[in-house]
Amino acid sequence: MRPTASLRLTRRLACGLLAVLTLTAPLAQAQDPKVLNVYSARHYPGDEQLYAAFTQATGIRIRRVDSDDAGIVARLRAEGAASPADVVLLVDAARMAAADAQGLFRPIRSAKLDAAIPPELRAAPTPQGVTWTGFSTRARVIVYDPLRVRAEDVATYEQLADPRLKGLLCTRSGSHPYNLSLFASVIERLGDDKGQQWLAGLVANMARPPKGGDTDQIRAVASGECGVALTNSYYLARLVKSDRPEDRRVVERVRVVFPNQATTGTHVNIAGAAVARHAKNVEAAIAFLEFLASPQAQEYFANGNNEFPAARGVKVDNPALRAIGGDGFKADPIPLAVVARNLSKVQQMLDRVGYP
């Protein structure tokens, strides 16, 4: 019997509490105005340069706690008002929205952020301010085997449910936030009834039960286990940049589509940041968020982890992103805050159609 949504949530919370116990030693409670406490779910090498650049520009040192999203959320809840966290970094709009719904973020106002980051990449504004902001984006793209699948048959997300792809589709878990955010976006467009039918069509087309991460899906297409799969763009870009022969062979065997270019645009997700609800160093925290929106920081996101800039007017030249067709694609403008409110409903639909 498949676990229900509530049981899966209980398990995730348990994992999060375990992660709290395995995090680094507690941060000092005394707040130094020249130290910013950052709880981060980002674990990318380029981010070290990002923190160093902020310190060099401001004189404010970064003291960081690293964990996964569940561990960070569980720690914030356990610490409550005593939490030393000033800034929270998470890697998905669904996760940002879930943490926000638990009251873990502090609304802020910033003219610089309002000017730099499009509203569709931020939480819906309230009279008190905005609670979370996206600072980099990643596209949810389709990879396919050109020997088995035609590009025109996978030009849209909706086509992934077409019976012509029966036995060819591979994905990671439907409940993973990367998929939840995509599914919530598609269902917002299709409506509930057609959206659930679409999810059922995905299940009917699966080559095997969902497993692994995004890179595993790309490798499965290259190996012939699958004919088509979903992945975030930066996973494919990493393989393009890799010097390992086996990664190069994977790239040579697959093709990529940025879906829905003739209709709604490709779904994009964010890595985002928020000021913690009980931040002690609010002024420095806002300064850090404003720095993340700067052209300098946006370049770190793009070149350090193959993400797309989120700030208006910022252009970067990453050969790997260019190689996969990431120059000038049409992104779905649907606000991620709208997508986030569909997440619980989508999880219930996944349970009903038997999407693991």
**Segment among 22-31, 164-173, 190-199, 283-292 with least mean pLDDT:** 22-31
Verify that 262 and 148 share a domain, yes or no. yes
Euclidean distance between CA atoms 301 and 48, whole angstroms:
11
Verify that 123 and 59 share a domain, yes or no. yes
CATH classification of the domain holding 76: 3.40.190.10
Euclidean distance between CA atoms 51 and 297, whole angstroms:
9
Confidence (pLDDT) at 174: 96
Task: Give the confidence band of 332 by pLDDT, cuts at 50, 70, 90.
Answer: very high
Residue 329 lies in a domain: no
- 235 annotated as a binding-site residue: yes
Verify that 168 and 51 share a domain, yes or no. no
The answer on pLDDT for 295 being more than 80 is: yes
Q: Residue 300: phi, psi to the nearest 5?
A: -60, -45
Task: Give the confidence band of 13 by pLDDT, cuts at 50, 70, 90.
Answer: very low
The answer on pLDDT for 26 being more than 60 is: no
Kindly state the DSSP code that residue 130 receives in the 8-state scheme: B
- 43 annotated as a binding-site residue: yes
The answer on pLDDT for 323 being more than 80 is: yes
Confidence (pLDDT) at 132: 97
Mean pLDDT of the 221-245 span: 97
Mean pLDDT of the 315-327 span: 92
* C-alpha atoms less than 13 angstroms from C-alpha of 219 in its C-beta half-sphere: 12
The answer on pLDDT for 268 being more than 50 is: yes
Q: Length of the chain in residues, anyone? A: 356
Verify that 171 and 69 share a domain, yes or no. no
What angle do the packed helices 177-190 and 343-353 form, to 10 degrees? 90
What angle do the packed helices 282-292 and 295-305 form, to 10 degrees? 60
Mean pLDDT of the 103-120 span: 97
Which of 218, 136, 137, 236 minimizes the C-alpha distance to 172? 218
Q: What range does the domain containing 219 cover?
A: 138-266+342-353
Q: Which two tokens stand for residue 7?
A: 């049981």
**Segment among 76-80, 201-205, 324-328 with least mean pLDDT:** 324-328
Confidence (pLDDT) at 304: 86
Confidence (pLDDT) at 225: 98
Verify that 168 and 218 share a domain, yes or no. yes
Residue 153 lies in a domain: yes
State percent of the chain over pLDDT 90: 81
CA triplet 133, 135, 137: central angle to 5 degrees? 115
- 234 annotated as a binding-site residue: yes
Verify that 86 and 111 share a domain, yes or no. yes
Residue 297 lies in a domain: yes
Verify that 130 and 189 share a domain, yes or no. no
**Segment among 14-18, 124-128, 231-235, 239-243 with least mean pLDDT:** 14-18
Euclidean distance between CA atoms 332 and 5, whole angstroms:
28
Please, are residues 139 and 258 in contact by the beta-carbon 8 Å criterion? yes
Strands 228-232 and 61-66: unpaired
Q: Which two tokens stand for residue 260?
A: 């829905």
Please, are residues 200 and 353 in contact by the beta-carbon 8 Å criterion? yes
Instruction: Find the distance separating the first CA and the last CA of the chain, reported in whole Å.
Output: 11
142 has which bridge partners? Answer: 230, 257
The answer on pLDDT for 186 being more than 60 is: yes
Which of 119, 118, 194 minimizes the C-alpha distance to 157? 194
Residue 275 lies in a domain: yes
Verify that 226 and 277 share a domain, yes or no. no
Euclidean distance between CA atoms 339 and 270, whole angstroms:
12
The answer on pLDDT for 29 being more than 60 is: no
* Residue 305 CB neighbour total at 10 angstroms: 22
Euclidean distance between CA atoms 206 and 166, whole angstroms:
7
Verify that 124 and 157 share a domain, yes or no. no
Task: Give the confidence band of 6 by pLDDT, cuts at 50, 70, 90.
Answer: very low
Residue 141 CA, chain-centre distance (Å), reads 13
Confidence (pLDDT) at 43: 82
Confidence (pLDDT) at 20: 37
Mean pLDDT of the 168-178 span: 96
Confidence (pLDDT) at 36: 97
- Secondary structure class of 151 (helix, strand, coil): helix
CA triplet 196, 133, 50: central angle to 5 degrees? 120
Residue 7 lies in a domain: no
Place of tokens 């609800």: 277
Verify that 100 and 231 share a domain, yes or no. no
Residue 98 lies in a domain: yes
169 has which bridge partners? Answer: 206, 228
Verify that 131 and 150 share a domain, yes or no. no
Which of 114, 30, 60 minimizes the C-alpha distance to 285? 60
Average pLDDT of the chain, as a whole number: 91
Mean pLDDT of the 61-80 span: 95
Confidence (pLDDT) at 31: 63
Verify that 108 and 173 share a domain, yes or no. no
**Segment among 1-15, 247-261, 290-304, 314-328 with least mean pLDDT:** 1-15
Task: Give the confidence band of 7 by pLDDT, cuts at 50, 70, 90.
Answer: very low
The answer on pLDDT for 45 being more than 90 is: no
pTM: 0.87
The answer on pLDDT for 299 being more than 70 is: yes
Mean pLDDT of the 33-37 span: 90
Specify the number of domains making up the chain.
2
Q: Which helix (H) or strand (E) holds 169?
A: strand 169-170
Euclidean distance between CA atoms 38 and 305, whole angstroms:
19
Which of 315, 277, 297, 307 minimizes the C-alpha distance to 55? 297
Contacts of 112 (CB under 8 A, 6+ apart): 290, 293
Please, are residues 44 and 304 in contact by the beta-carbon 8 Å criterion? yes
Q: pLDDT per residue over 137-148, tens digit each?
A: 999 999 999 999
Residue 328 lies in a domain: no
Place of tokens 């973020």: 105
Q: Is 282 exposed, middle or buried (0-12, 13-18, 19+ CB in 10 A)?
A: middle
Residue 120 lies in a domain: yes
